[in-house]
Structure 1
Amino acid sequence: MALVRYNPWQELNAHLSHINGLLGDTRVPSARIGRDFIRVPAAELHETDDAIILLLELPGLEAKDLDIQVTEDAVHISGERKSETKTENNGTTSSEFYYGKFQGVIPLKARIQNTNVTADYKDGILNLTLPKSEQEKNKVVKVNLEQPAA
């Protein structure tokens, strides 16, 4: 039986190479569905007493390219960034832009009134104001403390 010197760095390098392959394109968040990557827009949630404010980063898109559906407990968004084809005779074009379809579902922590949602889309930022339902606004839970038996 031959002795083989163990090199822990070789194993670590193999793992790092594998992880880098999985996370190769980290500029845009993505989710893997089957064999395809579906891009998910970056989101930010802010909750107040009366509403949930949802900001979505969607640069380079027009409002007509977006489909937003709001239920009582989630926001479903999908859209497509269409590529503009440019041809150049003398030179090369390099692009890091992502073109194609994207979709995402953002679960909400509280029930909302999905009939009173307001939206504002400016400079590639979609701002959704999702008012909470009256039951969520007035939700008070009474805590009963039992006295220990003496």
Structure 2
Amino acid sequence: MTLVRWNPWKEIDTLQHQINSLFEDTRLPSTLFDKGLSKVPAAEIQETEDAIHLKIELPGIEAKDLDVQVTENAVYVSGERKSETKTEEKGVTRSEFHYGKFQRIIPLSARIQNTNVTADYKDGILNLTLPKTEQEKNKVVKVNLKQPAS
């Protein structure tokens, strides 16, 4: 029988590496039927009293390749970054670009007037201004505080 020295730190290091790779990878399955993975665009949301301002990072994608749909409760963005084919006779090309189709559904924290949305797309950044409905603007709830009996 052979004795093997067990090193618990090696297992912990392997586990830490696997956890880190989960959080670094922002790819999600594009659909249940598609086995491929797609890159999810980064988003930034700022909410004011009157509107929700949504900024989505879409570098290298032309406006004609984007599909943006807005409901009262969510924003749906999909598109495709098409690959540029290059032919080289010598050398090796390494690319970290993500090509292909992507989609993202961003749920909203308040109901909006989806018929009055304004959009601006410049330098790979999509800015959407989503005005809130009148009900959401005036939504104030009075909280009654009861004092305990002494």
TM-score by length of 2: 0.85
Q: CA deviation at 1:74?
A: 0.6
Q: CA deviation at 1:11?
A: 1.1
Amino acid at match of 1:71: T
Residue 19 of structure 2 is aligned to residue 11 of structure 1: no
Pick the aligned partner of 1:31 from 28, 43, 46: 28
Aligned to 2:115: 115
Identity %: 68
Aligned to 1:140: 140
In the aligned structure 2, how far is the partner of 1:99 from the partner of 1:122?
20
Instruction: Assess, with a 3 A threshold, how the Cα gap between structure 1 residues 20 and 4 changes in structure 2: closer, same or farther.
Output: same
Unaligned runs of 5+ in 2: none
1:1-150 correspondence to structure 2 within 5 Å = 5-19=5-19, 22=22, 26=25, 29-32=26-29, 35-146=35-146, 148=148
How many residue pairs match? The answer is: 147
Instruction: Assess, with a 3 A threshold, how the Cα gap between structure 1 residues 101 and 147 changes in structure 2: closer, same or farther.
Output: same
Q: CA deviation at 1:95?
A: 1.6
Amino acid at match of 1:32: P
Where 1:68 maps in the other structure, the secondary structure is strand
TM-score by length of 1: 0.85
Unaligned runs of 5+ in 1: none
CA offset digits 1:75-119 (Å, max 9, x no partner)? 011110000101122333222111001111111111110100000
Instruction: Assess, with a 3 A threshold, how the Cα gap between structure 1 residues 5 and 100 changes in structure 2: closer, same or farther.
Output: same
Instruction: Assess, with a 3 A threshold, how the Cα gap between structure 1 residues 93 and 5 changes in structure 2: closer, same or farther.
Output: closer
Where 1:52 maps in the other structure, the secondary structure is strand
Instruction: Assess, with a 3 A threshold, how the Cα gap between structure 1 residues 140 and 91 changes in structure 2: closer, same or farther.
Output: same
